A and B are shown apart, each in its own frame.
Chain A
Amino acid sequence: MGLQQPAPLIESRVPQMVHFPRSCLHCETPDCVTVCPTGASYKRAEDGIVLVDEDKCIGCQLCAWACPYGAREIALPHPKAATSDAGRKDSKRGTMQKCTLCVDRIYNETLDERDRQPACVMACPTRARMFGDLGDPDSDVSKVVAERGGFALMPEFGYQPVNRYLPPRPRRDGSEAAATASVPAEEALDTAQLPPLLRWLDKALSR
């Protein structure tokens, strides 16, 4: 008996909505670090977190260009930045900003241990984000990634992203037929009669 083809993860033709948060993937070998002319963009040797030293960054934006994941954005100077005192003193002005993996939280010993997690992980109401050590095969995150087939984004760039995305789970109710049946036949809707807000809503939802 030959090897079986792996089945598609979700066999469904019902449209499915997936929220897709992007953040820094703290790659192993990222070009955002090597293209930086000042050394402001760096990867920490001890834990691999990719950071920007705002005091060294010249805002050339080459690192943002080098990132395929859209993890970096420049802090554009406020229109009044040049004239106001606060604007001139703003240390972030004109420098590259990115996810820090909340370095100020995850090592903070004044916080309760379970609170030493990035803010996005803490804030997610559905616990869709997880934080842990993927370098340790026995950690909770490593197990979840192995179990659910976590994957790296656009690995062909060779940056070796460290974060993993988990594919969406199959729908719990499963049956495609039921889902299709629950969609009512299209009714005629004269959108011109709708108030502007609903008309916009109709347009947005019909896309």
Chain B
Amino acid sequence: MKPALSVIFFTVASGAGYGLWCLLGLALAAGIYPLTGTGVLVPLGFGFVLVSAGLLASTAHLGRPERAWRALSQWRSSWLSREGIASLVTYLPMLAVAWFAFTRHAGMSLHVAGAVLALCALATILCTANIYRSLKTIAAWRTRQVLPLYFMFALLSGGLWLWAWLALTTGLAISLAFPLALLGLAIVAAVIKVDHWKCVDTLPVNTAGHATGLDMLGHVRAFEGPVTEESYLTREMAFVLARKHGARLRRIALALFGLAPALGIAVALASDTAWLAPVAALAAIAGLFVERWLFFAEARHTVAAFFPPTQA
């Protein structure tokens, strides 16, 4: 599949934003968040920037972005529609949390608003993952690892930003459990992602014989494509560049979203250097950009089998 920059940016940035909101919301709901007022508003606002920039970028993928509002109607069958609704609904508890933080209100309503924010953020991530997982034509996206990975990457990248904020304002000593949980998450996500890549590599590739149903005649190969120029289908569905550099890009992604945050957390905690926290967060985001690029570029679409290998 062609990796569209708008969609990659959307899933990475909004994913991080929702992950941040989810963890912040959970901490507020549980009453364990150490800061109030601005201490809540800054990470909340940063999540707002990530989420909104991602959502805006996603409209650049549309042929008619001015009609994006129409996407809210088919929630009964379409995960994209559900995602649109969930993403907008999530702004409501976010605004509630912002209001309570602004007015320094710390009662039950803040706990509830935090819990609702966390739930809505999780629901949006679920919808995003299911947009891809629901496409039967792209086997690489239907594997069992896709859904947990979307959650883990969102929580990891968002969580690192939240930790960076806490590390820079309250210092590293205040909480060990949170960065250690993130460290564990980075390792688990890396292991599951490697498993996903292994799975993708062993998926059967659709053949011309199967696609045309002509394999009963013997070996079928496409003599030439239906058009001599590129077409929408060959550009969009038959993208091959990634498979050439796949192995190297996978190592880069893994080092950035897995190894760098894990090492960053360990070293930061051991040597009490808070500035390593935002570096780890940045590395994770960069690694997820590469990971998401590969997620699209390495995924084979069934329809590619109709085209000769030179075009597919």
Contacts and interface: CB of A to CB of B under 8 A. Distances in A.
Interface of A: 8-10, 12-13, 16-18, 20, 22, 31, 33-40, 56-62, 64-70, 73-77, 93-96, 151-154, 157-158, 165, 167-168, 204, 207
B73 A151 contact: no
Interface of B: 1, 61-65, 67-68, 70-74, 77-81, 84, 131, 134-138, 210-214, 216-218, 223-224, 226, 231-233, 236-237, 301-303, 306
B216 A66 contact: no
B77 A68 contact: no
A19 to B, nearest CB: 9
Contacts of A152: 213
B63 A37 contact: no
Given A56-B67, A58-B71, A157-B136, A37 B233 contact: no
A161 B213 CA distance: 13
A10 B272 CA distance: 75
Given A58-B62, A67-B137, A153-B211, A37 B67 contact: no
B303 A69 contact: yes
A68 B67 contact: no
Tell me which of A17, A35, A57, A58 has the highest count of chain B C-beta atoms within 10 A of its own C-beta.
A58
11 contacts: A9-B217, A18-B217, A38-B81, A59-B64, A60-B80, A68-B137, A70-B306, A93-B63, A96-B63, A154-B302, A167-B217
B135 A61 contact: no
B135 A60 contact: no
Given A35-B79, A37-B81, A157-B137, A59 B213 contact: no
Nearest to A65: B135
Closest 10 CB pairs of A and B: A59-B63, A94-B63, A37-B81, A37-B71, A73-B232, A38-B70, A68-B302, A34-B77, A37-B80, A70-B303
B61 A60 contact: yes
Nearest to A9: B216
Tell me which of A33, A56, A70, A74 has the highest count of chain B C-beta atoms within 10 A of its own C-beta.
A70
A171 B272 CA distance: 80
Contact of B64 (A57, A66, A204): A57
Given A58-B71, A70-B233, A204-B224, A37 B84 contact: yes
B135 to A, nearest CB: 6
Contacts of A167: 213-214, 216-217
Contacts of B71: 37-38, 58, 60
A190 B254 CA distance: 51
A58 B217 contact: no
B257 to A, nearest CB: 25
Given A8-B216, A58-B67, A35 B303 contact: no
A165 B77 CA distance: 30
A56 B68 CA distance: 10
Contact of B1 (A38, A65, A96): A65
Contacts of A168: 214, 217
Contacts of A36: 74, 78
Contact of B65 (A38, A40, A58): A58
Contacts of B63: 57-61, 74-77, 93-96
B239 to A, nearest CB: 12
B67 to A, nearest CB: 4
B181 to A, nearest CB: 35
Contacts of A16: 217
B78 A61 contact: no
Given A38-B67, A61-B63, A165-B213, 5 more contacts: A8-B216, A9-B216, A20-B212, A58-B70, A75-B63
